[in-house]
A and B are shown apart, each in its own frame.
Chain A
C-alpha cells in the first residue's frame, strides 16, 4: 500500500500546478505518458483510442486548458449512424515528469517509503513534450463497444473547433489530408466538408498533416465501415415540451415510423427511451428493434413512435411530462387504441405519465402498457463497489468522472436501490419522493392491460458467488484497488477498498462497508457492464493491470422488472398470479440490460398483434 507520506508529497507537488509551472497547461504525470507526437511511426488510432488519448490529456490539463472530453464528443452524441464524421486533431505541448523522477517515485512507493528524494519544486521535475493525435468522431451505437460508420460513403468535416491545442494558439495555416481513397494527399482549408466513397472497404486509414516542412506533424486515424443498412429515417419528428414540474419543463422529441401499408398513424405503439437519454433516433431504433421487434411490429401494421429526451438525467416527474406531451401529439393525429411502453427508465416514465393523465381525467387511449426491463419495485442496482470506485478514484480519468455525474444525476438517484453518497450507500431522498408521488397518482394505469418483460432469467439462479471479487487493480506501485460483490448473509463486508497516488493527499486508503440482506450483484436480471467499463478505462491509463473476473453484474433484478415482492433467488410465479402485471415473461439467461432475446420478442409480438381474448382491451 502506498505510504500516506508519499501521497502527501505528490499532493504537494501537484498543488504547485499553475500556468507558471506548467506553461503548456497540460501536465501528464500519471499513467502512460508516451503518447504519439506526430511522427511517421505513430500508430493509427481508432475512434476509441483517440478518445482514450484525449482523455489522458484532459486528465492532466489545468482548468480550462482543454475542452472536456464530453464536450468534444457531444457533437456526435445524438447523430445518426451515417452522419457527418468530424476529424478531431489534438496538437498540444505538454509537460511530463522525467523518466528518472518516475522511477524514483516508483521505487519509493514499492518500498513503502514515506518520501521520495527528489527536488521540491515541480518545475525541476518535468520536461516538455508534445502529443499529436488524429481521430474520427462517431456517435455511440447500440451494443457496439467500438462504433463504425454505416455506409460506404463518408462525409468528413474538418472543423476548426476540433483542432484542440494549447490556449492562445491559432489554427495552423496548412492542413493536408489523405483519405485513403487512392487520390493521395489534398491540401484543404479549415471548414472543409468532403464526401469520399470508400467502396467495399471495411476500414480506412486517414492521414492528416498539419504544418509545413520540418515542423509538420502527421497523425493517422482509422475508421471502421459497416455496409449494413442504417436504421430507417423517421416519417415524422415532433418536438415535445411537457408541463413544468417545479417550474421547469422537460423537453424531448418523438420520431414516427409508420407500419406497413399505413399512410398515417393507424395502430400506434409508443416506446420511450431509458436513462440517460439524449440518444439518436438511430440508436434508439437499433436498441428497441433488438432481434427485429420493431421491424416485425411494423410489418404487422403497427406504427412505432419513439420518444426521446433532451435531458434524460433530469427528475423523472419532469420527463414524464414529455411523455404526456407525446401522447397529446399522438391524440391530435389519431384516436386509435395505442400501446405505450418504455425501455428501462422509460417504463417508469410511461407509468407516471398515464397515471397523471388518468388522475386529471385526460383520455390517453392506451389499451396496453409494455414495460421492458424497467426497474419497478425494488429499483435498479449498480454495484456500490463500482459506485465507490467512481466516487473515490474517478478523478483519474474524465470518462470516469462523466460516469460519476450520471450516477449522481436526479433520475439515477430516483430509480437506484442503493445510491453511494458521502461514503455511505442509502436510498436517495429523491427516490423516496418519486415513489411517494407515483403511489399518490395510482401507481399503475388503471385502464390498460399491463405487460412486462425481464432481460433476466426467471428461475432464481444466482449469477455469481456472494462476496465475489469483481475487479482487482494491481501491478503498479502507484495504485491498487479491490472491488467485491455484496455479501449474502447480511454481514457488513468491506466491499471496496483501494488507493491511488493520483488522488492522494495524505488521507488513508478509503473503503466502503455495506450491509444488505441480499447479494443483488448476483440476482438474476438484466446485466450492466459497469465493472468492465471501469477496467477498460484503467487499462487505457496504463498504470498497472486491472482484472475483472466478473465484468457483469445485475442491473435490473428480474423481481424489479416484474415488480414482485418475493425472494430474488426464487423462481418467479406464474404470470398473472402475483404482482401488478397481467402477463409477463423472462429471459432464458441473464442478458445485457435491454438486449432482448428472440423468444422475448416473439412473446411481445404475439401479445401486441394477437392478444388473447381475455386480455383484449374490449374484453
Chain B
C-alpha cells in the first residue's frame, strides 16, 4: 500500500433532512431493534400501508426522518426498506425497475451465488463469502429456501421504555393484518453494554461523516464523505463526481439509498479459544492478540495510537489516526509495514483510510447500523447453544462498488500484497477448513508471528438487499396505481 494525495475535502451542501430516513444519517443509539420482514398479498393494500407510515396517521408510528427532533430523544424510531421484489409487487413500472442497478435487482441470495460460485480458474474465489455454512440455502432470511420478503420494517426502541415497544408491536401487527401483510419473520436485537459486540469490541466507531449532516462532528483524519456517496438523486455528488441514481427517476431516487440487511453470527467460543491459544503459544497478552486481529483494542482505542498497551483515548478522538502520513498530517508515524496495526487486521483491510488499495481513496465507505442479537455470552455457562451475532444494515449508495466490493475483495480475496498474502479478513473472512493465516509483525528482530489456525469466526445467517427510499419516494410509491 502507498499513500497519495487525499481525496479533496467535500463542500457541505444543504440536505433535505425531512426527506431522508433517519437511520441513514444518524445512529439512533436506541438499544433495542425489532426488524419485521413482511410480504404483501395485495399491491394496493401494501401501498396503503406504506402511505400510512408517511401520512401523519395518528394510529400508526411514522417513519423517522433525519429532521425528527432529537430533544427530547424519541423513545422509538421506525424505518422502512424495500426489496426489489417488493417494489415490483407494489406496482413500480417495469421501466423504473429496470433503472435500478443489477445487484439490487438480483437480490442478495442470487448475488451470493453469482459471486460465490467456484471459478475453476480461481478456485480460491469465494465471492462475498456466502459459501458453505454461510450459503443462501442455510439462511433464515432472504435465502433460497426462505419465503419472499417485500418490506423490512425496523422498529428501534429504548429498552428503558419496554411498554412502548409492546404497544408499538401490537399496533404494527394489527396494521400488518389489516393490510394483508404476511409477517415472514422478526429479527430482534439488543445492544450489549458499552456498545460492544459479542467479541467484546466497542463497535461502530468509524462511521463516515456525511458533509452537511447536523450534529456534533468528531475528530477524524478521514475527510467527510460526500452526501452522494450514500444518497441518490437530488443533485448529490458522489466521490466519482457523479450520482449513483443514474437513470432512476427523481421521484423514487431522491434522498434514497441502499441498505444491505445482514444477520451475521459470531462464534464467541471459537474466538475466545483463538485468543487464548494464540496468546499462550506466542507469549502474547490475550488482549493484544484481540487488538492485532481487529486493529483496535477492545476498548476501541486504535493500535496505531496505542501499539503496546491499551490506553484511555477520549471517544471523540478514536478516529484521529491514519496508517501513514498524508495531507494535513505529513509528519505522521508511517506504519506502512503494519508493525503497529497489522495490514491484515479487520479495520485496516476494510477501511485502508489514506492508503490507496484500489480506485479512489475513501471510496468504499459504508454506514453500519448493526446491533447485537442474542444474550451476552457468559463464560461461566460455557457453550449454551444460543446464537449470537450482529444484525442490521450496511448502508451505501452503490451495493456493487461499496458493500460487495468490500466483501468480495477486501474481506475475502487473497491479495498478492505484502503482509496479507495468503490471508483473508480474520473476523469476516472465509477461512479454509485447516485454518486461516494471520501475520503479526513485531518491531524487533523477531520473525513475524504467524497464526495459521484461524477458524471461521462469523457466518452469514440472512441477507436482504433493500432500498431505503426518501419520504417523498415513499409517498410516490403509495400513490402508484394498478
Binds A, one of B163-171, B196-204, B345-353, B435-443: B163-171
Measured CB to CB, the closest approach of chain B to A174, in angstroms, equals 12
Q: Identify which of B113, B138, B147, B374 contacts A239 (C-beta below 8 A).
A: B113
Give the contact-size bracket for chain B: 35 or more
* Inter-chain contacts of B171 with A (CB < 8 A): 168
Would you call A239 and B110 a contact (CB within 8 A)?
yes
Would you call B140 and A84 a contact (CB within 8 A)?
yes
Q: How far is the CA of A369 from the CA of B171 in the complex (A)?
A: 56
Segment 375-396 of B: residues with Cβ below 8 Å from A: 375, 384-387
Judge if B282 is at the interface, Cβ distance under 8 Å: no
Judge if B180 is at the interface, Cβ distance under 8 Å: yes
* Inter-chain contacts of A168 with B (CB < 8 A): 170-171, 173-174
Would you call B167 and A192 a contact (CB within 8 A)?
no
Segment 33-79 of B: residues with Cβ below 8 Å from A: 34, 36-37
Judge if B183 is at the interface, Cβ distance under 8 Å: yes
Would you call A170 and B166 a contact (CB within 8 A)?
yes
Q: Identify which of A83, A169, A264 contacts B145 (C-beta below 8 A).
A: A83
Would you call B166 and A193 a contact (CB within 8 A)?
no
Residue of B nearest to A172 (CB): B166
Residue of A nearest to B37 (CB): A161
Encode contact with A along B226-237: 1 for CB under 8 Å, 0 otherwise: 000000000000
Would you call A75 and B184 a contact (CB within 8 A)?
yes
Segment 168-195 of A: residues with Cβ below 8 Å from B: 168-171, 173, 188-195
Would you call B387 and A161 a contact (CB within 8 A)?
no
Judge if A71 is at the interface, Cβ distance under 8 Å: yes
Would you call A160 and B147 a contact (CB within 8 A)?
no
Q: How far is the CA of A196 from the CA of B383 in the complex (A)?
A: 10
Would you call A191 and B187 a contact (CB within 8 A)?
yes
Residue of A nearest to B174 (CB): A168
Judge if B104 is at the interface, Cβ distance under 8 Å: no
Would you call B34 and A189 a contact (CB within 8 A)?
no
Measured CB to CB, the closest approach of chain B to A239, in angstroms, equals 5
Judge if B206 is at the interface, Cβ distance under 8 Å: no
Would you call B185 and A159 a contact (CB within 8 A)?
yes
Given the known inter-chain contacts A78-B144, A280-B145, please indicate yes or no for A170 contacting B169, CB distance below 8 A.
yes
* Inter-chain contacts of A171 with B (CB < 8 A): 166, 169
Q: How far is the CA of A239 from the CA of B184 in the complex (A)?
A: 22
Interface residues of chain A: helix, strand, loop or mixed (majority): loop
Judge if A373 is at the interface, Cβ distance under 8 Å: no
Judge if B482 is at the interface, Cβ distance under 8 Å: no
Encode contact with B along A145-175: 1 for CB under 8 Å, 0 otherwise: 0000000000101011100000111110100
Would you call A189 and B137 a contact (CB within 8 A)?
no
* Inter-chain contacts of B147 with A (CB < 8 A): 71, 74-75
Would you call B185 and A161 a contact (CB within 8 A)?
yes
Q: How far is the CA of A253 from the CA of B387 in the complex (A)?
A: 29
Would you call B173 and A169 a contact (CB within 8 A)?
yes
Q: How far is the CA of A491 from the CA of B301 in the complex (A)?
A: 89
Given the known inter-chain contacts A173-B162, A193-B386, A236-B118, please indicate yes or no for A161 contacting B145, CB distance below 8 A.
no
> 30 A-B pairs, CB-CB below 8 angstroms?
A65-B177, A75-B147, A79-B145, A80-B137, A83-B138, A83-B145, A160-B34, A160-B183, A167-B174, A167-B177, A168-B170, A169-B170, A169-B173, A170-B167, A171-B169, A173-B162, A189-B188, A189-B190, A189-B375, A190-B188, A191-B189, A192-B374, A193-B140, A194-B384, A194-B386, A195-B386, A236-B118, A237-B113, A237-B137, A239-B113
Would you call A191 and B170 a contact (CB within 8 A)?
no
Judge if A67 is at the interface, Cβ distance under 8 Å: yes
